[in-house]
Amino acid sequence: MMLTGRSLFSIERQGQRIPPEHVALPEWFRRHGYATAHVGKWHQDRESHSRCFSTGAKIFGFKKKQGWYEACNGHWHVPVHDFDPSGAYDPDGGYNDPAVAPFHEPYTADYYALISFIDEHVGSVLDALEQSGQADNTVIVFSGDNGLAVGQHGLMGKQNLYDHSVRVPLIFAGPGVSAEGRTDAWCYLLDIFPTLCDLAGIPIPDSVEGRTLVPAIRDPSAGIRDELFFGYKDVQRGVRVGSHKLIEYMVNGKRTSQLFDLDSDPREATNLAGDERHADTLARLRKQLRRWESEFGDTGDMGRRFWAGAVDGSI
């Protein structure tokens, strides 16, 4: 989604392959004269990686015909590759680098240690930009994957639609970005692609569905979206409008609803779905959520399984 600027339901499968007609962010910038580099995990196919990058280092995700997760025996043995301009990447190649191996138990302490580790190395990148004289000519974007719950709501992973997992960091800095600015405008990570195009003065590809965030970057009071939609596989869909968020679960044909007022309950601890005083709000958000199916094209295998469970017509 972030790479192509396309929504969850407009990418191929779950993004494991980026077809040529879905132009990727680094590919587009490379076409417009930028050198593009990749370090770290690549969830997608070799062909799209070759289109996207002109250099890189310590790349992992390529091994045999399996996905990177299976090939790495879960998270525990991560084979990394040097950049290969041919895009071939020996399926039995790569080497282990303990520096990229993730954490073991106890999870919470190591999770926060990883955050400190990332902070330190972000500082190293910023120092290098200063030393190179390019700091004032560089737009920096800092973001992240959905965060682990680390015990919140009794969960460890990120496979949920609560704010502690779906509300990820997003920071822009550099030319055209106010150093003092902070905005409450709602966005998706797929908006990064058109925003960078806008800041760099290059056209936005027709295949991109995201919206530029430059209006909110220039004027923090500017809005981008009035609602946000969320989804996880074929079991969860959600919508936020104003201060209210609705999460609908469909598991084994059984529907469960959670309605939260995030202004008064930012930790999403009090479910209002069964409270008659909030029946109108629940009905309104369910109607909004139902728009997802048609307007966002939630009609693939996962969408069909989710919506088929709404047999009572309530959503």
Give the tens place of pLDDT for each residue, 100-158.
555 455 667 777 888 898 899 999 999 999 999 999 999 999 998 887 888 889 998 88
Q: Distance between CA atoms of 162 and 230, rounded to whole angstroms?
A: 10
Q: Is the pLDDT of residue 220 over 60?
A: yes
Write the pLDDT tens digit of every residue in 227-244.
999 999 899 999 999 999
Structure tokens at 133: 């004289």
Cα 40 off chain centre by: 16
What pLDDT sits at residue 53? Answer: 96
d(CA 174, CA 155): 37
**Number of neighbouring beta carbons within 10 Å of residue 107:** 13
Q: Are 124 and 75 contacting, i.e. CB atoms less than 8 angstroms apart?
A: no
Residue of 246 and 11 predicted with greater confidence: 246
Strand partners, 170: 143
Give the lowest-confidence range in 17-26, 114-123, 297-306: 297-306
Q: In one letter, which amino acid is 24?
A: A
Residue 85, preceding peptide bond in cis (omega within 30° of 0): no
Instruction: Give dist(CA 126, CA 234) in Å, integer.
Output: 41
Rg (CA), the chain: 21
For CATH 3.30.1120.10, the residue range(s) in the chain are 227-308
CATH tag for 227-308 (out of 3.30.1120.10, 3.40.50.1370, 3.10.129.10, 3.30.70.1140) = 3.30.1120.10
Three-state SS for 117? Answer: helix
Per-residue three-class SS string for 32-80: CCCCCEEEEECCCCHHHHHHHCCEEEEEECCCCCCCHHHHCCCCCCCEE
> Looking at residue 148, what DSSP letter applies?
P
